[in-house]
Amino acid sequence: MSKIETITPNWPLKKVKALATTRFGGVSHTDYFSLNLASHVGDNLNLVNKNRQLVRDELELPEDPLWITQVSGAHVIKIPVDKTLLAEYNYIKDHPEQESSPEKKEIVKIFSVDAVYTKEVNKVCTILTADCVPLLLATADEKEVAAVHAGWRGLVSGVVENALSTFSNRDYAQMYAWIGPCIGKESFVVGSDVLMEFAQKDRDFLTCFTPYIQEENKWLGDLPKITELILRKFGVQVKNIYHSEIDTFQDSRFYSYRRDRVTGRFASMIWIDE
């Protein structure tokens, strides 16, 4: 039995496989205890790679996930990608000193995205979070899936809309969505600048903020509600939007940047089973 703890969406899909890891079951230590899967947070890269291999082996993933470089933007990558390009990218990630050359920067830029989409079987779409919204999407016919890293900047930039637009099946009313563990509406304290960013995008987002009574000009933002609102505006039915209802800031099973600052990242994954 795997030592790696996971949670799964409570949706009715069968062919589509999806999960989110927790902090437990890996080999990282100190601030990154223990299943840190991110290579950009200061953890020992050898331990990160061991954790990734543990996830691949113990969870019996069909293939290695594509570990993208997340930049809190709105770009989507489709997998599979060119194998030669992918091999070069993986080499650069293991040798950060290589990133300084213009040629290497261009390769990293290709993989600097915040959503991963596929319509091929056994391709594991993966994103990493520690408070941001991990959003998993699947068509009702289970032939297309995507994983989206949706922090507040990504939500403002349109990462959810861009991910939805990538699907060739535009029957959004039949699409399924899972909003995984993320910072909850009682924990996400922001300033008026963040509130105004959302208001400028769509005034309907103002319904997702409430005053933070402990501090003037501060607000509590509801990222899951904002994500759901975007999905609904695209036509996704409420009955097909599932929530983990887990607040990463409050739940110590998960990494939380807001809570700990120096910390790891957990993964949310989705793929089409063969």
Please, which residues have CB within 8 angstroms of residue 131's CB and are 6 or more apart in sequence? 151, 182, 183, 188, 248, 249, 256, 257, 258
Q: What is the pLDDT of residue 95?
A: 80
In Å, the largest CA–CA distance within the chain is 54
The H or E element that residue 233 is part of is: helix 223-233
Cβ(242)–Cβ(10) below 8 Å: yes
Residue 96 has pLDDT above 90, yes or no: no
The H or E element that residue 105 is part of is: helix 102-110
Residue 100 has pLDDT above 90, yes or no: no
- Calculated CA dihedral for residues 106, 107, 110, 111, nearest 10 degrees: -130
Question: Rounded to whole angstroms, how far apart are CA atoms 219 and 212?
Answer: 5
* Per-residue DSSP letter, 155: H
pLDDT in tens, 108-143: 999 999 999 999 999 999 999 999 999 999 999 999
Cβ(117)–Cβ(155) below 8 Å: no
Q: What is the pLDDT of residue 22?
A: 98
Provide the percentage of residues in the chain whose pLDDT is more than 90. Answer: 93
Question: Rounded to whole angstroms, how far apart are CA atoms 262 and 256?
Answer: 9
Q: Which CATH number fits domain 6-75+114-265: 3.40.50.180, 1.20.990.10, 3.40.720.10, 3.60.140.10?
A: 3.60.140.10
Q: What is the pLDDT of residue 97?
A: 72
Question: Rounded to whole angstroms, how far apart are CA atoms 115 and 113?
Answer: 6
Least confident span in 16-25, 44-53, 94-103, 263-272: 94-103
Strand order across the 266-272 sheet: 6-7, 16-21, 266-272, 125-129
Q: Cβ of 143: how many Cβ atoms within 10 Å?
A: 16
Q: Where are the domains of the chain?
A: 6-75+114-265
Peptide bond into 80 cis (omega under 30): yes
Question: Rounded to whole angstroms, how far apart are CA atoms 43 and 52?
Answer: 13
Residue 207 has pLDDT above 90, yes or no: yes
Strand order across the 241-243 sheet: 76-78, 115-118, 145-150, 133-138, 176-179, 241-243
Burial class (CB in 10 A: 0-12, 13-18, 19+), 55: buried
Q: What is the pLDDT of residue 1?
A: 43
Higher pLDDT, 274 or 240: 240
pLDDT in tens, 36-47: 999 999 999 999
Q: What is the pLDDT of residue 92?
A: 87
- Confidence class for position 103, pLDDT limits 50, 70, 90: confident
Question: Rounded to whole angstroms, how far apart are CA atoms 177 and 135?
Answer: 7
Residue 32 has pLDDT above 60, yes or no: yes
Q: How many helices (H) and strands (E) does the chain have?
A: 8, 13
Residue 2 has pLDDT above 70, yes or no: no
